[in-house]
Structure 1
Amino acid sequence: MPDRSPEPPIDAREALGRAQAELVAALVAGGEAPEGFDVERLRIQETALISKRRGVVARLRPDLVVLLGGDLAAEFDGYARGRPKPRGGSRADAADFAAWLAAKGLPPPGREPESPGREPEKPGREPGNAEPVRARRRPWFRRGLR
């Protein structure tokens, strides 16, 4: 049976918790780099996390991709740097980004941001129907076998 070390003291747990919170703040909320961490590497990771968020928002809101074109990366970077992802997840992030753009006056007049609660249509499903649309043709490997 392996040796079990005693539980770390409460102070050590609290110190670890504070260090982890500082690291997360540095990565996603524009916080200062914790002591002992390479500032440049943290900025690289922060940029990668923002890029990942931007990709998800682009998939959820292709209208914003079309609207912004080549400026999407710069605009999303301006929105996301120093701003953690909202509690509602990626859909809330996309809605917040659209609202942030609207506050800057970027969407064309008359264009309302999509509601964050609205589920986009899923390919292969008819609107209002939970069942997938059934193929009307035989599978490719059985088409000539009748």
Structure 2
Amino acid sequence: MTDEHPEARRRLAEAQGRVVAALVAGAAVPEGFDPERMRVQALSLVAKRRSVVARIRPDAAAAAGPDLVAEFAAYARSRSAPPTGYRADADDFAAWLRERGRMPDPPRKPRWWSRFLP
């Protein structure tokens, strides 16, 4: 199959990249898009991420407590793009909270050989 319109495809891919960057990375809203609608959609995407992260890592949600909305928004703003996958996002959020003293270090797992020690 030959690509009859490589330049059009390249321009479309660049435009789509600008829209995604505006939605998930706080980039400027591309020309032709309503800034208020883009802002609302970006907030909605962060809320969706937050709810999934809270289900995957309830310990992180509990550590953030009543500040979960603000903490997750700050975490999301600190990144140029979300990590790939919800599990990575949840673990990164927990690490972000830990760096700020909002979440304790995970308990250390005993070494397999420690069961043989007196």
TM-score by length of 1: 0.66
- Post-superposition, which runs of at least 4 consecutive aligned residues in structure 1 deviate over 4 A? none
- TM-score, normalization: structure 2? 0.80
Query: Number of matched residues?
Result: 104
Q: In the aligned structure 1, how far is the partner of 2:88 from the partner of 2:5?
A: 39
Q: Report 1 or 2 for greater relative contact order, CA contacts < 8 Å, sequence distance ≥ 6.
A: 2
The letter for the 1-side match of 2:77 is R
Counterparts in 2 of 1:45 and 1:104: CA distance versus 1, 3 Å:
same
Alignment RMSD: 1.7
Q: Compute the displacement of 1:82 (Å).
A: 5.7
Instruction: State the 1:72 CA deviation.
Output: 0.4
**1:81 to partner: Cα distance:** 2.6
Quote how far apart the aligned CAs of 1:104 are: 1.3
1:130 alignment partner in structure 2: none
| Structure that is richer in helix per residue | 2
Residue 32 in 1 paired to residue 24 in 2?
Answer: no
Matches within 5 A, 1:1-146: 9-81=5-77, 83=79, 84-87=81-84, 89-108=85-104, 111-112=105-106
Q: Is the 8 A contact 1:31 1:82 kept in 2?
A: no
Structure 2 alignment gaps of length 5 or more: 108-118
Residues 57 and 94, structure 1, Cα contact 8 Å, conserved in 2: yes
- Report the structure number with the largest CA radius of gyration: 1
